[in-house]
Structure formats: C-alpha cells, structure tokens
Amino acid sequence: MSTLAPVLDRLDGNLDKSLTRLFDLVRIKSISTDPAYASDCRKAAEWLVADLKSIGFEASVRDTPGHPMVVAHHEGPAGAPHVLFYGHYDVQPVDPIELWDADPFDPRLKEIEPGRKVITGRGASDDKGQLMLFVEACRAWKEVHGSLPCKVTLLFEGEEESGSPSLKPFLEANAEELKADFAMVCDTGMWDRETPAISVALRGLVGEELTVRAANRDLHSGEYGGAAANPIRILASVLADIHDESGRITIPGFYDGVEETPSQILKSWENLGETAETFLGPVGLSIPSGEKGRSILELVWARPTAEFNGISGGYTGKGFKTVIAAEASAKVSFRLVHKQDPAAIRSAFRKFVEDRIPADCSVEFHPHGGSPAIQLSYDSPFLASARQALSDEWTKPAVMIAMGGSIPIVGDFQKFLGMESLLVGFGLSDDRIHSPNEKYDLSSFHKGQRSWARILDALTRKG
C-alpha cells in the first residue's frame, strides 16, 4: 500500500480542483445529435486534449466524418499491463428545458438530502463525470510518482449519444494503435450507493421488422370476412407461437449456445435481495412473464428474450372502420446471451415466420442491427484484481452483475481489437441520465477516483 497510499491522499486533497475541472467540461454544450452544437463537440474534445497534455499524455484530436475522437497515450513500466480506457464526451439533448430546476450547462453542487451532495448538470453522470474519474486517478499518480503504474491508452468518443457512426471505421483503421491487453469501459453503474459493481455480461441484440401482406388492397370486412386472409390475424398467430406456456421461446435452434449461469453466480445474485415485487412493483407489475423457475435477475441478466416492440395494421384512427387490412407489421427484438449467433437467430426467426404464412400471402423482413452477447470469464485475473480493489474502497464488497441491455462498444473492442473489457462505473439508478435534472453523487465522483487509482495499482501488482 506504500505506493498507493499517497496517491489516495492526493486525490482527497485535489477534490475541489477536480470538481472545478469537471464543471468546466460540463459547461461545454457537446450535444452530438444536433448539428448546431458541432463546434461545442470539438471544443470539448480540444478541452480534453489540453487537460491530458497537462499531465503528460501524448494526446490529440482525431477527425472523423462526424465528431472528433480523442486519443491519448502514456507509457508505463516495462512488463506492466497495457489498458485502453473508453468514455464519451458527448451528451444528450436537454429537452424539455422547462423541466430542469436550473440551467443544464451551469453545473453546481447541491445537497438533496442531509449528508448527500450531488453534482447537477447534463453530462455530470453520462459520461463526463465518469470519464474524468479515470483522468483524475492518472493525474494523482503522475503528481505523486511522476509516472503511471501501467501503460495507458485513452479513447474518448464524441458520438456515443447519436449512434456512434464513426466508431467502427475508426477502430478498424486504428486497430494497431489502440490494441491493448484489455479495455476498461466506464459507462456503467453501481448496484447501490454503497456497493460497487463489475458488469461481467451484456446481452446481445437482434432487431427485425416484418410485414405480412395478403390482398392487394384493404377489403370490406362484410363482403370478404371469413373468406379472405387477414394479415393482422396471421401476424398475431405467428407472434403468439413464439412463446410456449412456460415462457420459453419455441423458434428451433434458438437456445443453441445458451449456457447455464454458474450456481455460485446465481447465489451471489440471490444475495442482492432483488425480487419480482421489488423489481416489477415500481412499474405497476408483480408477476414475471419470462421462463418459469428463473429468478428475476437471471431473467433480465442471463436469459435470452423475444419481445414485441410495436404492431401496426388496419385502421387505427378515431372511430371505427370495418376493414380487412392489406398488410400488418410488427417490430421484434431478441436479447441474446452467451454464445448465441445473431445471424443464426435472424435466419431461424425468418424461417419460423415464413413457415406460418399462407401460400397466397407474403412476408417481408427488414433488419435493425445485430450484435452478440458479451460474457467475461468469471475466473479472469483482471476481474479478480479489480473486484478486490473496489471492495477495499467501498463500504460493501464489490458484486459481479450483468446488464440486460447492450453496450455495442464492448463488442466492437472484441471484434476489431480482440480485447475483453472490464466494465466498471459509478453511476446510480437515480442519476436521471437522458432526463431533465441529471446528477452525479459526490460520493461517486470522489470514491470513483480512488477506486480507479486502486484498480490501476492492483492490475499492476497482479496483472
């Protein structure tokens, strides 16, 4: 601890200065989806480059067809691991502005309850506050020791909130420069205010839109009802066939590559205390609808799904119209786990649908993206080191969790750079990211810096 202790002390002493730096970054209106803020996105990138250069990184703004990337490098001791740290400096739009308690680009420190202070402002949590934690940890290491404990590459993106159109081409074109031993992604959260978490799994995603067509025009339901095929009924029947009575998905081959979660991991999830009532109650529900016999966290973290995200067809306006529609459409999404193949899932789903379409009708498909699930090795030495480092910092031991959603960058790092990712973040479920009055707990900002300093130290000693 002799090398680490003065770094932690420096972070404690620098807290006010680190807040000032974060506030300066939050004030920049780097809204990536709105072309009116293109200059602000570049300004944020330039601000980061200047700050990184001030602590000894070789940093630069890298142009893309969209908003620029920030890439920075710092050497480390011979034989130490090389880590790639990813974050994004762009933010979501602030609309509706009237729902904000204060100017979203005028960050402040606010006490929301006795003893609990938060940083307010757009990007305070997602993701400027998160990425600056790692920068501040590096700054403290440099100020105390004049060096970093390992080799570090930083990649800060400016289009994450607008679909990352430039990211994959950039990774592919710069793979040799960016490749490291593993990546660290900060765009995640804690289990609760006192319990840090490492996300070890992300579900993949396949999106499909299908349109069933029958007659060559809408038909009068009195004249043709009972004789003409009704695409709404056909579509409803197809969708109903996808799940059986136990909640399992009936598409042939769907569960190929799906593995059971290790029993010790399931036990650790049970110890988190989440139940169907606590999870579903806040949204007005109480009964899980997925596979029977699975816990609520297993359902949302470790099992695949098929969900219907939208259905349209026929007359949907005011009043009533007795019509048999010529076509009906649905949007369907599949969340994937473990080794499920997105291309195989898409193909199996299409065949499943086509087998249920009458001979005088047709179906057309339109894909909406596809990415595999990410599953880290539970016995990874990097994972074990990071978990211990987090447990040393926080009140409660770090837990290994999964995420029901998808973070495409993790798959991109695996595909283009051949790297696994360590997902550690300090956001909280009440941070209101993407919503008015976004905030970031001061405890997350302070102890998050200390956590990253500990992780860097632990990876160096045990990596």
Give the domain CATH number at 21.
3.40.630.10
Write b or e for each residue in 191-205: b if 16 or more Cβ atoms lie within 10 A of its Cβ, otherwise e: bebebbbbbbbbbbb
Chain Cα centroid distance, residue 424: 11
313: domain CATH number?
3.30.70.360
Does some domain include residue 309? yes
Question: Does any domain span residue 122?
Answer: yes
The phi, psi pair for 110, rounded to 5°, reads -135, 140
Map tokens 């029977």 to a residue.
Answer: 292
Pair (126, 142) in one structural domain:
yes
Q: Establish if 267 belongs to a structural domain.
A: no
Residues 318 and 380 in one domain: no
In a domain? residue 287 = no
C-alpha to C-alpha distance for 255 and 114, rounded to whole angstroms: 49
Could you give the CA distance from residue 372 to residue 408 in angstroms, rounded to a whole number?
9
Give the model confidence (pLDDT) of 430-444 as tens digits. Answer: 999 999 999 999 999
Domain co-membership, 174 together with 211: no
Q: Please give the structure tokens belonging to residue 48.
A: 């980061």
Considering the domain architecture, whether residues 28 and 45 belong to the same structural domain is answered as: yes
Last residue of a domain, one of 319, 352, 371: 371
Q: What DSSP string runs through 23-86?
A: HHHHTS--BTT-GGGHHHHHHHHHHHHHHHHHTT-EEEEE--SSSPEEEEEE---TTS-EEEEE
Together in a domain, 37 and 100: yes
Whether residues 230 and 319 share a domain: the answer is yes
Mean pLDDT of the chain: 95
Contact in structure between 136 and 18 (CB atoms under 8 Å): yes
**Spatial contact of 378 and 200, defined as CB atoms under 8 Å apart:** yes
In the chain, pLDDT over 90 holds for what percent of residues?
Answer: 88
Q: Does 444 share its domain with 348? A: no
Residue 365 in any domain: the answer is yes
CB distance 213 to 313 below 8 Å: no
Q: Which of 336, 371, 406 is the last residue of a domain?
A: 371
Considering the domain boundaries, does residue 269 fall inside one?
no
- Asked if residue 277 lies in contact with residue 306, where contact means CB atoms within 8 angstroms, the answer is no
Q: Which residues, at least 6 apart from 393, have a Cβ–Cβ distance to it below 8 Å? A: 196, 447, 450, 451, 454
Instruction: Give residue for tokens 């006795």.
Output: 114
Total domains in the chain come to 2
Beta bridge partners of 197: 399
Q: How many CB atoms sit inside 10 A of residue 218's CB?
A: 16
Give the 3-state secondary structure of residue 408.
Answer: helix
Question: Listing from the earlier edge strand, what are the strands of the sheet with 327-336?
Answer: 305-313, 327-336, 204-213, 362-371
pLDDT in the model for residue 163? 86
Q: Is residue 284 assigned to a domain?
A: no
Same domain, 123 and 231: no
pLDDT of residue 375: 82
Residue 413 lies inside a defined structural domain of this protein? yes
CA distances (Å), 43 to each of 38, 53, 93, 211, in order?
Answer: 9, 15, 17, 45
What is the rounded CA–CA span in Å between residue 94 and residue 336? 32
Identify the pLDDT of residue 463.
44
Residues of the chain scoring pLDDT < 50: 463
What's the confidence (pLDDT) of residue 462? 54
Pairing status of strand 182-185 against strand 323-324? unpaired
Residue ranges making up the domain that contains 176: 5-202+374-462
183 and 232 assigned to the same domain: no
Round to the nearest angstrom and report the end-to-end CA distance of the chain.
Answer: 16
Residues 51 and 164 in one domain: yes
Structure token digits, residue 340 = 């499920």
**Per DSSP, which regions of 114-203 are E strands?**
116-120, 151-157, 182-185, 197-202
Residues 250 and 356 in one domain: yes
Task: Verify that 21 and 57 share a domain, yes or no.
Answer: yes
Q: How far is CA 234 from CA 230, 296, 349, in A?
A: 6, 32, 15
Domain boundary residue, one of 371, 399, 428: 371
Note the pLDDT tens digit of each residue in 360-392.
999 999 999 888 898 887 778 888 999 999 999
